[in-house]
Chain A
Amino acid sequence: MTQGADLGLTDVGDWDLGVDQSPRRARPGGALKSLRPTSRHLGAVPFFGYIAIFLLWPTIIVIVGAFQNDSGQLTLANVTTVLGGSTYLQAFWASIRLSAETALAGGVLGALLAWAVAEGDADGVFRRQVVAMSGVLAQFGGVMLAFAFLATFGYAGVVTLALQRVAGVDPLASGGWIYSFTGLAVVYTFFQIPLMVLIFLPAVDGLQVQWREASDNLGGGSWAYWRYVAGPILLPSFVGGLLLLFVSAFSAYATAAALISQGSPIVPLQIRTFLQSEVVLGRANVGKALALGMVVVVAVVMTLYAWLQRRGAKWRA
């Protein structure tokens, strides 16, 4: 019987019959009965009602608003503004590029770290420390990580000062690289790594020692093991992790808002302009069109992810 941790990510769209202990199955016609709405479904109404009010309603407002002009009439003008405006397309491209690059960098480093952690004692203090620290770093908001980053690489940051004193090099001589795209990528990777550790750890846990032993016995070395055994098994989880990292970076707002104050290179910052600017007025619905664009991109990636999970499920016992 698989443990809870392993099933955490894998069951989107996957109905594991083995675990279901519902007594309902003992009654005749049980399977079909679940499809007709009955009084039992009343129990789920509070939950779905709450979701409808606080999640679906705002989303519908955004989606519908993207197709409305200021007086409420339906129009495609906002969407054409976004698709036709090179600033917006560049922002989307920058967001996608940033998310992809940091997902890859964070994914590889995080996977390595997950492997290193999984090699150790499963219930040990070290593993728990790493999981706790990863949880904190992955969950906590961008503002604190932006400050951490500025304390390290900023104008009076530890690494900057050290480089100036020790190597005589001033990394900030030509302006602030940390406030540019590069800086954003470095700090995004900082919270991609813990996220990948958390996502990938159960997959690495699932690698049985016996498989490594069998591969060694058959004469294959480390390379053969990783290339033919562990690699293919871990690949769906790895790619799934990369996709989730992509979504996480694409949706991130707080870090960029705390770091970048000139220009809005990525889409969430463009949306901020429409909500907070005292200079750009009366164009709120273009902001909604941008938001709709974000939803579309993320939905595509999440669909890929769900499909990948379904494919990878066959490897889990």
Chain B
Amino acid sequence: MFSFRKLSLATAMAVSAALLVLLVVACGSPPSSSDSTSAPSGAAAATSAADLGGMDALVAAAKKEGTLNVIALPPDWANYGEMISSFEAKYGIKINSAQPDGTSQDEINAAKQLKGTDRAPDVFDIGGSVALANTSMFAPYKSAEWDQIGAELKDPTGLWTSNYTGYMSIGYNADKVPGPTTMNDLLKSAYKGTVALNGDPTQASAGFNGVVMATIASGGTADDFAPGVDFFAKLNKVGNLLPVDPTPATIASGQTPIVIDWDYNNVAQTAALKGKVSWKVVVPANEVIAAYYNEVINKDAPHPAAARLWNEYVFSPEGQNIWLKGAARPVLMDVMTADGTIDKTALAALPVAEGTPVVLTQKQIEAGQTYLLANWSKAVQ
């Protein structure tokens, strides 16, 4: 049998040295198994339907691919459940929905991790900050309605396009607590142990914008988040803040009688809990905060044609109305109201919002992030 005794000291050293060299080399990244360095071809290069020869050609190419990977799209978030099922029904393309409770950052992480595989996400629906930070991962595309979207709501080359927004709202269980009308109402003793914020503001953008709403309500401006954080600190101190993550389960069980979240999420709960819990939604007057999410196509999408067809679908009147039905405000809402393609019943059902919506600039967002990172944890201890 093989005897170790015959080997010499030199061999042992050589093996160790080889391992070290391997480690040093491995400090770089592995070679990409997809040919992303070479120019993309076919559907992956298309920057509009015209590049592929028109909508019909795009539909045919997408049907040929047969699958679409989406990520972080909960079925009850802005009516994504219906968006997914109607897309599947219309084009016969199967949609794989991964990580429904993921955040925008999770979407980017998944794309990096699954790069080159068949499971990588094809499209993203992500918040503004994450979009701006990762444009190198996106493919430019302009859907048929792209020109009708305002210039400040899209990237000039089509790398990202705002798709819908909502207003921050206070959802409440009318059976358990009196209805608040403004944020400052929540400081009253009637709301002891009832107020939950959707997500930690340093982690999730819904929570982040909740703090913005508190800032505006406290008389501050979007340039300085201190009043908002102080508001939540006070809320915590008087025992009104509940450090529970609100989910449909906690709302149904009555554990979180008040939830600060996007109005489309709260409205979805009203519908889901009809008959069981009287869940009402109010957008405080003059404390209206809006933030657009963005539709993005993965540069290394495993199903490029299907990804672009999805993009066309969500910006078409049909897709935009589905979001409207979910109580989100689609980006083309004004355009569609003008030319009559809007779903009037859904439009009328939107929560009333008095006051001009506040939308943060990128600079304000970054300043807010820094402030929150340094001060949020202390405030809610």
Contact = CB atoms under 8 A, between A and B. Distances in A.
B278 interface: no
B243 A279 contact: no
B192 A276 contact: no
B9 A174 contact: no
A277 interface: yes
B244 A263 contact: no
Nearest to B109: A276
Contact of B129 (A45, A262, A281): A281
B255 A262 contact: no
Given A175-B241, A175-B242, A278-B103, A91 B377 contact: yes
Contacts of A180: 243
Contacts of B208: 279
A273 B197 CA distance: 17
Contact of A270 (B4, B8, B15, B377): B377
Interface in A29-57: 37-43, 45, 49, 52-53, 57
Q: How large is the interface on B (under 10, 10 to 19, 20 to 34, 35 or more residues)?
A: 35 or more
B105 to A, nearest CB: 4
Interface of B: 4-9, 11-13, 15-16, 19, 23, 26, 103-106, 109, 126-127, 129-130, 133, 192-193, 197, 199-205, 207-208, 239-245, 250, 253, 255, 369, 372-381
A277 B202 contact: yes
Interface of A: 37-43, 45, 49, 52-53, 57, 85-87, 90-91, 155-156, 172-176, 179-181, 260-265, 270, 273, 276-283
B236 to A, nearest CB: 8
Contact of A39 (B7, B203, B253, B372): B7
B369 A279 contact: yes
Task: Say whether chain A's binding surface is mostly helix, strand, loop, or mixed.
Answer: loop
A279 B210 CA distance: 13
User: Which A-B residue pairs are the 8 nearest by beta carbons?
Assistant: A261-B245, A278-B104, A278-B105, A262-B243, A155-B255, A263-B380, A179-B243, A39-B7
B4 A39 contact: yes
Contacts of B127: 278
A173 B200 CA distance: 22
A277 B103 contact: yes
Contact of A38 (B12, B242, B255): B12
Contacts of B376: 263
A279 B204 contact: yes
B4 A42 contact: yes
A255 B380 CA distance: 19
Contact of B23 (A41, A57, A261): A57
A87 B7 contact: no
Given A156-B253, A261-B243, A279 B106 contact: no
Contact of B12 (A37, A260, A265): A37
A11 to B, nearest CB: 27
Contacts of B203: 273, 276-280
Contacts of A278: 103-106, 126-127, 129-130, 203-205
B103 A276 contact: yes
Contacts of B255: 155-156
Contacts of B242: 175-176, 179
A49 B41 CA distance: 42
Contacts of A277: 103, 105, 202-204
A86 B104 contact: no
B199 A174 contact: no
A52 B109 CA distance: 26
A57 B22 CA distance: 12
A185 B248 CA distance: 28
26 contacts: A37-B9, A37-B12, A37-B13, A39-B8, A39-B11, A45-B12, A45-B15, A86-B378, A87-B377, A155-B244, A155-B253, A181-B381, A260-B243, A261-B199, A262-B200, A262-B243, A262-B244, A273-B373, A277-B203, A278-B203, A279-B129, A279-B208, A280-B373, A281-B105, A281-B130, A282-B133
Contacts of A172: 193
Contact of A90 (B16, B200, B378): B378
Contacts of A52: 19, 23
Contacts of B244: 155, 176, 179, 261-262
Nearest to A172: B193
Contacts of B375: 87
Contacts of A87: 373-375, 377-378
Contacts of A173: 192-193
B253 to A, nearest CB: 6
A217 B7 CA distance: 64
B104 A38 contact: no
Contact of A279 (B6, B23, B202, B250): B202
A7 B105 CA distance: 47
